[in-house]
Amino acid sequence: MGKVILTMTISLDGFVAGLNPGINNPMGEGGVRLHDWIFAARTEKDTKILDQLYESSGSVIVGGHTFHNAIENVWGGASPFNVPAIVVSKTIPKEPALGFTFITEGIKSALLKARTIAGKKNVWVMGGANLIQQFIKEDIYDEIWIHIAPVLLIKGVPLFQKLGEDRIELEAYDVVQTPGATHIKYRRV
């Protein structure tokens, strides 16, 4: 069985999106800047990190807001992933979305389905923030890959909030610096 890897791009001050994210602006005000390392400022090192994630993953889990606000709206519901995607959502769309399975029973059911699909490969959990927080709170992950964009959003959607009261120990085992992001891979201690 593979690992459960939580991935997220954040601003230096810990935001995954700017203020007011929604259907017409999935990354919120100024939030699209966070993903320059994937698009406008992408380097060979960035590509290598993405390729490693894509090649090691057998399935991906996304949250309902990420699907409805970004994937469904921006990509027209077409999957941007190279693996089957599980959507944790309170609702199932009327029109089927090719490449997506919708789970309404929560993250544990979604993870069970994702592990079955992934086989020996990793399960990639890509967010949004609420989904990542749920996995951390439930302590059902092996690694966290954080991509820190060199920008202070000042306001927006924070990643590390609502995690409970206990300290969480992590160990950084790989750090790669590119102009668009500092990529840090952490494993649980």
114-145 burial, b at 16+ Cβ within 10 Å, e below that, comes to bbebbeebbbbbbbbbbbbbbbbeeeebebbb
pLDDT for res 98: 86
Torsion on CA atoms 79, 74, 158, 9, rounded to nearest 10: 60
- DSSP classification of residue 12: T
Helix, strand counts (H, E) of the chain: 5, 10
Report the distance separating Cα 167 and Cα 130, nearest Å: 19
88 token code pair: 């944790």
Identify which of 79, 40, 25 has the alpha carbon closest to the alpha carbon of residue 178. 40
pLDDT for res 75: 65
Q: What is the pLDDT of residues 113-126, one digit of tens each?
A: 999 999 999 999 99
pLDDT for res 129: 96
- Angle separating helix axes 129-137 and 107-118, nearest 10 degrees: 90
Q: List, as one string, the DSSP characters of 19-41.
A: SS-BTTBTT-TTGGGGGGGTTTT
Q: Which domains does the chain have, with CATH numbers?
A: 4-188 (3.40.430.10)
pLDDT for res 76: 66
**Single pTM value for the model:** 0.95
Could you count the other beta carbons within 10 Å of the beta carbon of residue 164? 11
Tens of pLDDT, residue by residue, the chain (189 residues):
899 999 999 999 999 999 999 888 889 999 999 999 999 999 999 999 999 999 999 999 999 988 888 777 666 666 788 899 999 999 888 887 888 999 999 999 999 999 999 999 999 999 899 999 999 999 999 999 999 999 999 999 999 998 888 999 999 999 999 999 999 999 999
pLDDT for res 77: 66
